[in-house]
C-alpha cells in the first residue's frame, strides 16, 4: 500500500488589528497620559511621576501604558510601545503604532466582534471622561533617583566616609 503525501498545515494564529478609529482614540489617550507625566531635576537627584493606567470606578476595564521612561517627556514620534487593555477576563496587548493585537487572553466562547465592540465602548468612555475622577481612576508611578552628577557626588562622599 502506497502512502500519499498530504498538504502541510500551519497552525498559526490569525493576525488581528484594531480599527483605525480605535487606534486614533488610543493614541489620544496615550498623549493625554504623556502630558500629565512629570519630571523634576535639581541637579543631583530627580523625581519622575509616570502616568501608567486609567480604569473605570468599578475596575471592569483598564487601559495601561506599557512604556517606561525616566527622562523628559517623549516627542509624539517616540510614543512606540504596547498597551495592555483589560475588560473583565479579556486581556489584550496592542501595539500602539500599528494597532496589531500582539497577544491576548479571552474566554473561549467570546467572539472577536463582541470584544471589539466592548473595547470601542470603553475607549470612548475613557476619552470622554478622562478628566472626571468620579468616573475614571488615574494610577501613577513615582520614581526618585540620582542624576549622573548626583551619583558621582554620592560616590565621593561614600569614599570619604570609608577612608
Residue 10 lies inside a defined structural domain of this protein: no
CA distances from 88 to 22, 61, 138 (A): 19, 6, 18
Residue 11 lies inside a defined structural domain of this protein: no
Residue 155 lies inside a defined structural domain of this protein: yes
Residue 1 lies inside a defined structural domain of this protein: no
* CA atoms within 13 A of residue 81's CA, in its CB half-sphere: 19
Report pLDDT for 76: 46
Residue 27 lies inside a defined structural domain of this protein: yes
List, in order, residues 6 or more apart from 139 with CB less than 8 Å away: 51, 52, 53, 54, 55
**Domain count of the chain?**
1
Report pLDDT for 33: 85
pLDDT in tens, the chain (163 residues): 676 666 655 555 677 888 888 988 888 888 888 888 888 888 888 888 888 888 988 888 999 887 765 555 545 445 577 888 889 898 988 888 888 888 888 889 989 899 999 999 999 999 999 888 889 899 888 888 888 888 888 888 888 777 5
Residue 7 lies inside a defined structural domain of this protein: no
Report pLDDT for 44: 85
Find the domain containing 113 and state its range: 17-162
Residue 144 lies inside a defined structural domain of this protein: yes
Residue 93 lies inside a defined structural domain of this protein: yes
Amino acid at each position: 500500500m502506497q502512502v500519499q503525501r498530504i498538504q502541510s498545515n500551519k497552525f498559526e494564529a490569525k493576525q488581528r488589528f484594531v480599527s483605525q478609529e480605535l487606534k486614533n482614540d488610543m493614541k489620544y489617550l496615550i498623549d493625554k497620559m504623556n502630558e500629565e507625566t512629570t519630571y523634576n531635576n535639581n541637579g543631583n537627584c530627580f523625581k519622575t511621576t509616570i502616568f501608567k493606567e486609567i480604569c473605570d470606578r468599578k475596575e471592569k476595564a483598564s487601559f495601561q501604558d506599557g512604556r517606561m521612561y525616566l527622562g523628559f517627556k517623549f516627542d509624539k514620534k517616540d510614543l512606540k510601545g504596547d498597551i495592555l487593555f483589560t475588560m473583565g477576563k479579556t486581556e489584550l496587548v496592542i501595539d500602539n503604532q500599528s494597532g496589531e493585537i500582539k497577544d491576548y487572553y479571552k474566554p473561549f466562547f467570546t467572539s472577536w466582534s463582541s470584544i471589539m465592540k466592548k473595547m470601542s465602548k470603553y475607549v470612548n468612555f475613557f476619552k470622554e471622561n478622562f478628566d472626571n475622577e468620579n468616573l475614571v481612576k488615574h494610577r501613577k508611578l513615582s520614581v526618585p533617583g540620582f542624576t549622573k552628577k548626583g551619583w558621582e557626588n554620592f560616590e565621593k562622599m561614600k569614599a570619604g566616609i570609608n577612608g
